[in-house]
Amino acid sequence: MRDVRDLAWTIKAAYYIARTGRPGPVVVDLPKDILLAKAPFSYPEEVHLRGYRLPGPPDAALIREAAAMIAASRRPLLYVGGGTITANAAELLTQLARRARIPLTTTLHGLGAFPEDDPLALGMLGMHGTWYANQAVQHADLIIAVGARFDDRVTGKLDSWAPYAKIIHIDIDPSCISKNVPADCAIVGDVREVLAELLPLVEPKDTKEWLAKIETWRAECPLIYEQGDGKLRAQYVIERLRAKTGGHAVVVSDVGQHQMWTAQYFRFLHPRSHITSGGLGTMGFALPASIGAAFGLRGRKDVPIICISGDGGFVMNAQELGVAAAHRLPIKVAVINNNFLGMVRQWQELFHENRFSHTDLSDTNPDFVKLAEAYHCVGLRASRPEEVDAVLEEAWKVTDRPVVIDFQVVKEELVFPMVPAGASTSEMITKRLTPNAFV
Amino acid sequence: MATEASTLTPQQIVRKRKTGEPLLPGEPEQAHRHTIAVLVENTIGALIRVVNLFSARGFNLESVTVGETDDPTVSRMTIVTTGNDRIIGQVLRQLERLIDTLHVEDLTGSSFVERELCLLKVRYTAESRAAIMDTVEIFRGKVVDITPDTMTFELTGPTSKIEAFIKLMKPHGILEVARSSRVAMRRASGSWLTHEDPSLNLPAAR
């Protein structure tokens, strides 16, 4: 901004760009002199930006081609990204998958686009996705990418990703098409419009054999973790949160191990019920984002806001408890506390010969219960599995302020399965590499 | 995983063909030089965004020129870049994605004229003068300045011609060279600014 007379137009243009096409943030740089200057206010009805092109209606011929590819495929797989949720196309997607009996895997941001209690759902794919979803990718003969961008956390080593699959890529952003994996059929357009046109062209398919194969993979390497040894683990906490809410909650996760466990074990049902910073990887995101979610859902007392954070990420913005308390937001904050930067610790253990430098937080972490109380919130604690349900019960009774629950979990737990960075999706680690392996 | 072409699946081979990536590790990349013309908003910010795009995404930027067009609100940039088909596709789509760009056209592949301007100052003596002037004549250069011991020439042409001229002047003692980088335009009638793309016949920018 250089001239206050342009301010109204610029703000209008910023909102226009932020909300249309592939939505996203816009930075408006407002210097102090503009903030203090005066000008007549005239807010334009609409703005025209001659270099800003929104995609037109999707190409009908390409949609017919995609329908033919789906009809011809024997091992199809839907790979669903956050664009599906942004386009409000989750319902159409669900219809498509169920109508054609196509199994479905989602990215981190795609979670919630399809109910995970459906047998067609394979959970997340990629680095910390399920083994069976990644196996399906590696054996599919057709991948239908919907509102997704083939991020490196999804594909691992590009050369060996989905070696037998033709690719249909549906996305609103032309610069995403064929960026990482070349598409055989690229449809640029709003996912909702494309799916609405595609759906009537897709006939029910017989995918029994393919689904049966996937079930054998699911049985071979399910998502499991050690239980029954009296130790508290993050996965159990997340499963109990899921049981407590039945999946009817908005879950905001931070960055790290707990984020991956949330993605794996919460089994999301609804679009926009999972909020996370994704590829930005911004630790400290969860608490302020939960405050935003709580404001957005004020008046919806039936939808709990659950903030799941690691101890490392939580302290990065813990002062926001003050804001949440001041506005009496009943956020449930689950601090998955292993007194470590757990994901960094995991890489140090697996790839850097156990050199745990600067990840042990046991001497620096605050007492989270006292911290919560200092900020006028309720502080609770659980350190054994049998305490979890009682502490959740207690937390759910509080409706006029945030509750912080310090879940003291074991520090040795690693997120599995895992595709090491830069490795092929076929080279997934499904067993723990250390002597106390259990899987 | 796949170290030999025979271990690649048909689908992997199709993909590599599409991107222009080598089928075998160690094979040279199929990189091509592309000349791209871009119409942008005539502001310094627009120019910076285009150039930043290249540095931020690690695209190769061999040369770039910018100048106002007949419409004072629009500048035209000529960008020369290299890369395989996947990279060039990305360059074009990322350029189009910028809000400040009004039109992007890859000239490579169609018939186009490419020119560069060169100013070159050389030392001369009574003995060398005739030989220098002969060369300038052959290259259809123009003398734009002369002093008792130096001459400055103006020369336009494709890059190869400019480079050949510089090479021939070198033995005489070049004092200074200034080159404009390439500007380019598609041959054939029509202009994508005003005729072929009606979406650009729009009210001027604010």
Q: Answer yes or no: is pLDDT of B205 > 70.
A: no
Euclidean distance between CA atoms B63 and B80, whole angstroms: 5
Residue A69 lies in a domain: yes
Say which amino acid occupies A431.
K
- We report the CATH number of the domain holding residue A189 as 3.40.50.1220
For residue A205, list its beta bridge partners. Answer: none
Query: What ipTM was assigned to the predicted interfaces of this complex?
Result: 0.87
A424 touches chain B (CB under 8 A): yes
Does residue B69 contact residue B102 with C-beta atoms inside 8 Å?
no
Measure CB to CB from residue B206 to each of A9, A165, A424 and give the nearest one. Answer: A9
Interface of B with A (CB under 8 A): 1-2, 8-9, 11-12, 14-15, 18-19, 40-41, 86, 89-90, 93-94, 96-102, 199-200, 202-203, 205-206
Euclidean distance between CA atoms B180 and A225, whole angstroms: 65
Which chain A positions have a beta carbon within 8 Å of B41's beta carbon? 51
Asked if residue A417 has a cis previous peptide bond (ω within 30° of 0), the answer is yes
Residue A242 lies in a domain: yes
Which band of pLDDT confidence, cut at 50, 70 and 90, is reported for residue B200? Answer: very low
Domain end among A220, A253, A278: A220
Clarify whether residues A264 and A404 are in a common domain: yes
Q: Identical fold at B31-111 and B113-186?
A: yes
Does residue A387 contact residue A318 with C-beta atoms inside 8 Å?
no
Does residue A131 contact residue A105 with C-beta atoms inside 8 Å?
no
B15·A173 Cβ contact <8 A: no
Of B79, B151, B163, whose CA–CA distance to B118 is shortest? B163
SS3 of A136, please? helix
Clarify whether residues A367 and A304 are in a common domain: yes
Q: Quickly list DSSP for A178-224.
A: TSSS--SEEEES-HHHHHHHHGGGPPP---HHHHHHHHHHHHHS-S-
Of A316, A347, A359, whose CA–CA distance to A415 is shortest? A347
Confidence (pTM):
0.91
Q: How far is B108 from chain A (nearest CA, A)?
A: 20
Of A235, A233, A276, whose CA–CA distance to A253 is shortest? A276
pLDDT at B5: 56
DSSP code of residue B122: E
Q: Quickly list DSSP for B49-109.
A: HHHHHHHHHT----EEEEEE-SSTTEEEEEEEEEE-HHHHHHHHHHHHHSTTEEEEEE-BT
Number of neighbours of residue A199 by Cβ within 10 angstroms: 16
pLDDT at A435: 42
- We report the CATH number of the domain holding residue A290 as 3.40.50.970
Clarify whether residues A20 and A124 are in a common domain: no
Which chain B positions have a beta carbon within 8 Å of A140's beta carbon? none
Clarify whether residues A257 and A389 are in a common domain: yes
Measure CB to CB from residue B86 to each of A6, A175, A182 and give the nearest one. Answer: A182
Euclidean distance between CA atoms A121 and A103, whole angstroms: 6
Planar angle of CA B80, B84, B87, nearest 5 degrees: 75
Clarify whether residues A310 and A335 are in a common domain: yes
Residue A428 lies in a domain: no
Measure CB to CB from residue A50 to each of B11, B97, B205 and give the nearest one. Answer: B205
Euclidean distance between CA atoms A123 and A144, whole angstroms: 16
pLDDT at B4: 54
Clarify whether residues A37 and A76 are in a common domain: no
> Which residues in chain A come in under a pLDDT of 50?
433-439
For residue B177, list its beta bridge partners. Answer: B120
Q: Answer yes or no: is pLDDT of B194 > 80.
A: no
A51·B14 Cβ contact <8 A: no
Sheet strand arrangement including B32-41: B63-68, B74-83, B32-41, B101-106
> Which tokens is A427 given?
């080279």
Clarify whether residues A64 and A43 are in a common domain: no
For residue B75, list its beta bridge partners. Answer: B40, B68
pLDDT at B31: 87
Clarify whether residues A18 and A107 are in a common domain: no
pLDDT at B122: 96
- Strand A250-253 relative to strand A305-310: parallel, antiparallel, unpaired? parallel
> Which tokens is A65 given?
């081609």
Clarify whether residues A326 and A378 are in a common domain: yes
Identify the sign of the CA torsion A286, A292, A293, A295. Answer: positive
> Which tokens is A72 given?
């011809």
Domain range for residue A26? Answer: 1-54
Query: Containing H/E element for A166?
Result: strand A166-171
Euclidean distance between CA atoms A101 and B154, whole angstroms: 70
DSSP code of residue B30: -
Which chain B positions have a beta carbon within 8 Å of A424's beta carbon? 1
Clarify whether residues A241 and A365 are in a common domain: yes
Does residue A434 contact residue A264 with C-beta atoms inside 8 Å?
no
Number of neighbours of residue A97 by Cβ within 10 angstroms: 22
Clarify whether residues A208 and A247 are in a common domain: no
For residue A308, list its beta bridge partners. Answer: A253, A334
Count interface pairs A-B at CB distance under 8 A.
61
- C-alpha pair distances (Å), A434 with each of A255, A346, A424, A425, B65: 24, 11, 22, 21, 58
Q: Where are the domains of chain B?
A: 31-111, 113-186
Planar angle of CA A251, A255, A258, nearest 5 degrees: 65
User: Three-state SS string across A40-106, please?
Assistant: CCCCCCCCCCCCCCCCCCCCHHHHHHHHHHHHHCCCEEEEECHHHHHCCCHHHHHHHHHHHCCCEEE
- CATH code for the structural domain at B113-186: 3.30.70.1150
Of B81, B122, B84, whose CA–CA distance to B104 is shortest? B81
Q: How far is CA A263 from the centre of its chain?
A: 7
A178·B40 Cβ contact <8 A: no
Euclidean distance between CA atoms A194 and B56, whole angstroms: 32
Q: Answer yes or no: is pLDDT of B173 > 60.
A: yes
A285 Cβ neighbours under 8 A, 6+ residues apart: A252, A254, A255, A276, A277, A313, A317
Task: Report the domain count for chain A.
Answer: 3
Clarify whether residues A136 and A186 are in a common domain: yes
Q: How far is B70 from chain A (nearest CA, A)?
A: 17
Q: What is the largest CA-CA distance in chain A?
A: 72
> Which tokens is B95 given?
């350029």
- B31-111: CATH homologous superfamily? ACT domain (3.30.70.260)
Q: pLDDT tens digits, residue range A286-298?
A: 999 999 999 999 9
